[in-house]
Each structure stands twice: as structure tokens, then as C-alpha cells.
Amino acid sequence: MAINYTKEDLLRVSNMASDLKESIILGGVLPYMDITYDGGPLIPLTDKRPWHYVDVYESLGIDRNAEYRFLEIGNRWCGALWGWRIYLPNSKIYGLDIDPETQKFSNNNPDIGVKVYEGDQTNTQLLKQIHKEAGGLDVIVDDGGHTMTQINTTFQTLWPLLNDGGVYIIEDLQCCYWPNHEGGLKEPNSSIELIKSLFDNIHACYYKSENKIKSARAKHKISHEPSNYFDKSVSSVHVYDSIAVIYKNIKPTLVPTSLEGNFTQEVHLSQEICEQSNMNLFLKPEEKNHYKKLFNNAVNSFPKK
């Protein structure tokens, strides 16, 4: 039986769900009702049971009315995917699952339903094709096979394709510590190590020599490697129990957002450096003068040697 909802149906159900949790509960039964419902008890067809994931999603500030292009990898019976469908009625919802059974729960319509691609998340050509056919992606959730190769290959392929300002979420990171998922504590190939390495990407401007502000403190540890795409695109990383959220914002050049030095000792120097390199201290001229005076008073109040 086909799943055949109209835009009106979608909006009606969407209005019933006041938040993501309710959307996921409703979404979990929606495809089921059309396909197999025989009047028996309704069981949500999703395993998004760790509700703290939902709290994390709700903290992202997702705009329910926005027109996102949303992809979830790993859909099983598509309960969560339909939950997102209900939560974001104006977005395009895509899925990808290796299991052909999942197709039963898709109506192949990303506008008023869900379009699920069948395939392997390590098939980089397929990932690129999905991105192309969707016309870009704003939100990507990886809840697929959870092996280190799967998570890493998918991230390395889709992160550069994610729209600027987009968000990438990886679920079930507990698998990073389990050998049967190719993981283990501090295993070099573990996806948690990949996520940790993003901290260095965020801070690349403080140790890469191409940065205009040569860090006096990094001195001998300065890296002469050029910046890479991850240095320029990872804006923040949030890790919770078993789920990571990675935000993307393209920086045209490596420019620090915090001061190079210790504020009290180096405020003069920092201010000059910031001005030379067009770094914005977000201070008005009168504020700058105020802080300069304050600094000079503080310096003069120290006993002279």
C-alpha cells in the first residue's frame, strides 16, 4: 500500500506536535498506519528512545518553519524520519539506508513525505549524488551502521558538501569504544579521535604560520602546514553522552576570534595587532580609550623596580 499524504495532512499532523518529541512519537506511527495498521496497538517505529538526543536536537535552535534540506543516514522503519517530516513541514526530508525493507516506509517524496535512498553510507558516489539531487544539505544526521569506517567516511565526504551555516550530528558514539565497531579507547581510527581532532582545526589560527598574527607564544611549535578545509570550516563542536553536534561556518581566512595574549599584559600589543590585521575587537573608539587609560593606570600603580 502506498503512503499517500497531502500537504494538508502533513500540516494538520505537524500542528498537532508541539515539539520534537511529540513529532517523533507521531512520526513513528504515521508510515505504519498507512502500510500495516490492522487496528492493533500502535508502536512507534523508531529507536530514537534516548530522549536526551531529543533534548540535544531541541537545543540546536532549529526553526520549525524553515526550508531545510535534511538528511538522516540510517532509517530502519523511517519512524524518526517521519518525525522530522512532521517537525519540519516546510523542509525537504531525505534518508539513506542499506536495508531495502526501509523503502516500504518511504513515499519517495521529500516535499510532503520522505525520500529514502537505498545504499551504503560508505558509497561516496552515492553520498555526492544525494547531495546533488537534494540541491544542498543543511542538516545531516548519521545514525547508520556506526562502525568507525562508516562514520569517518561519511563525515569526510559529506562535511565539505554541507551548506555553510549547516549542522552535522553523529549519534551513538558509544560505539567508538567498542572493538566490534572498529573502536576502542584512543584507537587512532576511532571517530571520537576524529571529533577530538576538530578541536585543533578550530584553533588552527593560533599555531599555523600562514596566520597574519604570528603567535609569539607558539614560537617553536608553529606549524608551517597550510590550513586545510576543516581548519576553515569547523566553527564549533559539542559532545554529549553518545552524540556530537558539529557546526559549520566557512572562514575565508584564519582569523582568531579571541586575543592572542593575556589581556592585562598584552592589551596594547593585541590592540595594535588587531588593528593591523583588521581583527575586530568590537570596541568603539571611546571604549578603546577607556581601556587604554585603565590599563595605563593599572601599570602605573605597580611599584617601579
Ligand X SMILES: C[S@@+](CC[C@H](N)C(=O)[O-])C[C@H]1O[C@@H](n2cnc3c(N)ncnc32)[C@H](O)[C@@H]1O
Question: Would you tell me which residues interact with ligand X (CB under 6 A)?
Answer: 46-48, 72-76, 79-80, 96-99, 102, 120-122, 143-145, 150
Paired with 237 in beta bridges are: 246
Cα–Cα distance for residue pair 93/5, rounded to 1 Å: 14
Least gap, CB of 121 to ligand X (angstroms): 4
- Between residues 51 and 263, which has the closer beta carbon with respect to ligand X? 51
Least gap, CB of 273 to ligand X (angstroms): 48
- Between residues 28 and 256, which has the closer beta carbon with respect to ligand X? 28
Cell of 277: 590585521
- Please identify the residue of the shown chain whose CB is closest to the bound ligand X: 145
Contact status, residue 110 vs residue 93, Cβ threshold 8 Å: yes
> HEC profile for 121-183?
CCCHHHHHHHHHHHCCEEEEEECCCCCHHHHHHHHHHHHHHEEEEEEEEEECHHHHHCHHHCC
- Between residues 79 and 166, which has the closer beta carbon with respect to ligand X? 79
User: Using only C-alpha atoms, what is the Rg of the chain?
Assistant: 24
Q: From the CB of residue 127, how many other CB atoms can be counted at a distance below 10 Å?
A: 25
Least gap, CB of 285 to ligand X (angstroms): 53
Least gap, CB of 123 to ligand X (angstroms): 8
Least gap, CB of 24 to ligand X (angstroms): 8
- Between residues 14 and 121, which has the closer beta carbon with respect to ligand X? 121
Cα–Cα distance for residue pair 135/138, rounded to 1 Å: 10
- Between residues 79 and 256, which has the closer beta carbon with respect to ligand X? 79
